[in-house]
Chain A
């Protein structure tokens, strides 16, 4: 980790308040940094603001106060379209629900982000999708539709899709929340191996301390604030 290189993601006193009739504070005064190549877990009880923090880090939401920086660049002044572009190039998402497109095959689902980016040729996209799926053990399921897969398989496809454009960081929100122990181990191992291979960083929200233990570092939230991990 060289000091000259800015952190991958950095927040400076980020606060997010939902402007409801009674305003709800989701996260408050969060300052943190995530370096390239880190595996960071975010834990905390329900309603502690874990997911809200992840959405802010993933540029899906804008903070009410404070600043989120990606590669040292402030994102506040960027337009919505510029944020879309940043997400497309640098970020990959895995949610608790797989969110695969039901009408498209497994291979096609993984290719969707590549189509949007439009850098690779159609042939290269197909090859990359197949090799990604092969690397997570789904080589035999390329032409199946999401409904024909098990829950664990679907979630692996979602991981492969998040990796499609070689993101700098994977943001995972309870990625194993809907899976049994065995499948959650598999997904967990895939994420770990990605970081170990130096391909990407991972920020993972989980309520399970056992899974959080796989991470290099843990951030514990209570009531929207960072507190020391118990």
Chain B
């Protein structure tokens, strides 16, 4: 009894008396914590990078020349749709001139809204022809000055600049993958053929690379005016792009814009719903895996403390007959669980950090959804704190169950048996 704290002392003596299972249990806990930290660092790194990319390269909100609901038909007014047994089919949509009506007014109005930047565009499908290659792509007609404010396109330019669009009439900026596949480079003249059949030769004045493969492969930019000519849709705007000072507000603001102007208005969250729901699945997998490891570690703790209690049943009896309360006895074994949990947590922190570093050093050269050479790892103290807290909680619970049993032992039963 080197120190005065008796419970701690007895707890420690028991553990050091059974070093091997104690170490095994501790390592189990450490692995649980480490895996949680490493997986979280990797997945959150990936998700964070991906979301950041989305926020950077695409508009936070995009208003399109579409409506979410089909137009209300006269018959609907006659028979309330919710109640009547009327079903309309084969409704022929009106042949409207496609595009956002009053786009100028919308742009002017929204430009004055605080925290919002606006850029009108015309998006349309084109086929680029260069040499032997025919490649379909989206051509976005932009106003370079406004586009700069709304997306990070200017920053993603690897060759040429956004301003070069202004400088040459009939020029185009291609995504890096698209340019590679066309085998076109700066100064080359590619032929663009639009859906309306117009053909126009465009000079490549820039190449951008966002890192999101889908964008780099299928998107190109031209001046709004050139796009309108190519699509044969003079003065038409069919998409308005917005950027926000606070990207997380996109859902709410998109809803407001849609209510106000009627056109389908999509936030970046909605546009990427698919991938974001994949993230949720990833998170579930991560929590499930870490919990499973921690659960196994808990069985280790439960096991060693149960064994200790069985071995030390006579000690428990004599301590209780001396006047130790059930709470005193329970404390001894809870302390043991917490020691294993605490040491496991600290080891797990170290191990988790090391694993994160290791994962970060693996070269993967991925070009699937996004192009990257290494995994993205985030080092966030929150991961260490949540992992540690879960570990301590689990250890306390695993120790508490057998400790309760020890506390409830009746000394008489043991002394009667032990005296024989």
A residues near B (Cβ < 8 Å) are: 51, 55, 58, 60-61, 80-81, 84-89, 91, 93, 95-97, 99, 101, 103-104, 108, 111-113, 115-117, 122, 161, 173-174, 177
Contact = CB atoms under 8 A, between A and B. Distances in A.
Contacts of A89: 323
Interface of B: 1, 4, 6, 10, 13-14, 17, 314-315, 317-328, 410-412, 415-416, 418-419
A91 B14 CA distance: 27
Contacts of B321: 58, 60, 87, 93
A101 B412 contact: no
Contacts of B322: 87-88, 93, 112-113, 116, 161
A85 B415 CA distance: 19
A104 B9 CA distance: 10
Secondary structure type dominating chain A contacts = helix
25 contacts: A51-B419, A55-B412, A61-B410, A84-B325, A87-B323, A89-B323, A91-B323, A95-B419, A97-B314, A97-B419, A99-B318, A101-B10, A101-B315, A101-B318, A103-B17, A104-B1, A112-B1, A112-B6, A112-B319, A116-B323, A116-B328, A117-B323, A161-B322, A173-B419, A177-B419
A58 B320 CA distance: 12
B419 A103 contact: no
B22 to A, nearest CB: 14
A3 to B, nearest CB: 31
A226 B138 CA distance: 105
Given A60-B411, A61-B412, A116-B328, A96 B419 contact: yes
Given A61-B412, A116-B322, A173-B415, A99 B317 contact: yes
A113 B416 CA distance: 21
Please name the 3 residue pairs, one residue from A and one from B, whose CB atoms are nearest each other, closest first.
Answer: A88-B323, A99-B318, A103-B13
B374 to A, nearest CB: 51
A111 B325 contact: no
Contacts of A81: 325-327
A51 B4 CA distance: 34
Contacts of A85: 323
A87 B322 CA distance: 6
Contacts of B318: 93, 95, 99, 101
A103 B6 contact: no
B10 A122 contact: no
Contacts of A177: 419
A84 B317 contact: no
B76 to A, nearest CB: 76
A16 B267 CA distance: 77
Contacts of B419: 51, 95-97, 173-174, 177
Nearest to B328: A116
B2 to A, nearest CB: 9
A84 B17 contact: no
Contacts of A97: 314, 415, 418-419
A173 B319 CA distance: 16
Nearest to B324: A116
Given A58-B321, A60-B321, A112-B322, 17 more contacts: A55-B415, A61-B412, A81-B326, A84-B324, A86-B323, A87-B322, A87-B323, A88-B324, A89-B323, A97-B418, A99-B314, A99-B315, A101-B10, A112-B6, A113-B322, A115-B6, A177-B419
